Amino acid sequence: MKNVVVVGSQWGDEGKGKIVDWLSSEADVVVRFQGGHNAGHTLVIDGVTYKLRLLPSGIVRKNKISIIGNGVVIDPWALIDEIEEAKLKGVEISERNLILSEAATLILPFHREMDEIREDSAGNSKIGTTRRGIGPAYEDKVGRRSIRVMDLASKKNLENRLTVVLEHHNAIRKGLGKPMYEKNKLVEDLLKIAPNILKYSAPVWRKIDQLKSEKKKILFEGAQGILLDVDHGTYPYVTSSNTVAASAATGSGCGPNSINFVLGITKAYTTRVGEGPFPTELKDYIGNHLGEKGNEFGTVTSRKRRCGWFDGVLVRQTIKVSGIDGIALTKLDVLDELEEINLCVAYELNGKEIDYFPAAVEDQLNVKPVYKKFKGWKCKTQGVKKFEDLPNHAKTYVKAIEEFTETKISSISTSPEREDTILLVDPFN
């Protein structure tokens, strides 16, 4: 039995939702281990579209256990709304198939406000956050002043914890000329929804240990992409959590020996939402074509994604940083109509060629891509289910990605539909 971690190898939006749903047919358990409702997964199953933000992708399947780990930051109102939204589409959700870590940090209204205040005051230095309060909530977690799921069980403890965290936030708000945040109404609102949250809460580490002893197949589901990792991404234009595969262990409460295979979801071109470096970005008609053909709009914010050529240097780097064992290549069909396709194989920086993505943001903004050119296949790959049925030029492009990134391509996605997937390596076997 193998336990598999799924991570995005680029800046997110690589198509993890479809791949996780496809893999969850084999898995017994799906675990979300980091991030918040700032990143979404879109699933299309039997013609029904599900847009998930906090709920693990396994929730739409019967007889699967979905777990939200301690590494996730949770807006309790957003979680309740998402549960109700899923139920309206016929998804059964109860304490039997959804488990929430009692140690998970809560995103509260003053976190959202702080996110907005900072972005609005940043001018040209905007990070491009989703304004959902993710960053400020993680800051409070690291500062040891956050409110966690377990705190909802005691009014006295909740009031004490809120006093501590609001002392910090109100000092900042005062300095920025913003009104003070009062806790009494918040205590009342939290206690009102507490039963709806606490009924799902449990010691997740213990549940996972039990599931491991029962030889269950566990799928760990990451949000966003490795290039948004707070340590290994394009800092400071990153998210506030670690998005690499190693976070599956810390964000759920199991040892790294629980991970047997790391699958990197990788788009056949590159996209990015928000601000920050993007060496292969295309601001011409090809970039627009990729965006339109690939329906490149954010699941959560509906923001238009920036589009560009496949950056092999970046993907090779994220593969090594995250210990990726195999690539699930997505959206190959979006390239079907192009005459020529480029793959970035190096950068030029200050007149010298380099084979890695530098850490300094000034260098990241100044690198120039060095491309290897490929002929487009100019025919339809959408719906192809066997590698040998792909056009020859498409096979050449796929093999070039595999060779350059030094990683086996385990599957190829040729449409948003779950069944339109070419399986080359089964991560669970």
Which residue among 13, 115, 151, 333 is the active-site one?
13
Could you tell me which residues come within 8 angstroms of residue 45 by beta carbon, excluding any fewer than 6 positions away?
21, 60, 418
The C-alpha angle with vertex 284 and arms to 396 and 416, in degrees rounded to 5, equals 55
Cis preceding linkage at 236, omega within 30:
yes
**Buried b / exposed e across 267-281, counting CB within 10 Å, b at 16+?**
bbbbbbbbbbbbbbb
Q: Which helix (H) or strand (E) holds 118?
A: helix 109-121
How many other β-carbons are positioned within 10 Å of the β-carbon of residue 124? Answer: 5
Task: Phi first, then psi: give them for residue 222, nearest 5 degrees.
Answer: -90, 160
Could you tell me which residues come within 8 angstroms of residue 94 by beta carbon, excluding any fewer than 6 positions away?
none
Comparing CA positions, the residue from 179, 9, 234, 211 lying closest to residue 97 is: 211
Rg (C-alpha) for the chain, rounded Å, is: 22
Distance CA 185, CA 79 (A): 20
Q: At what angle do helices 134-142 and 109-121 cross, to 10 degrees?
A: 110
CA–CA distances in Å: residue 122 to residues 176, 278, 366: 12, 20, 22
CA–CA distances in Å: residue 178 to residues 127, 131, 133, 139, 202: 21, 17, 17, 19, 37
Check if 111 is active-site.
no
Check if 169 is active-site.
no
Which residue among 41, 111, 169, 232 is the active-site one?
41
Determine contact, residues 344/311, Cβ cutoff 8 Å: yes
| Residue 339 Cα to chain centre, angstroms | 31
Distance CA 173, CA 131 (A): 17
Comparing CA positions, the residue from 62, 132, 48 lying closest to residue 98 is: 62
Distance CA 85, CA 3 (A): 29
Q: What share of the chain is helix, strand, coil (3-state, %, to 5)?
A: 35, 20, 40
Which residues belong to the active site?
13, 41
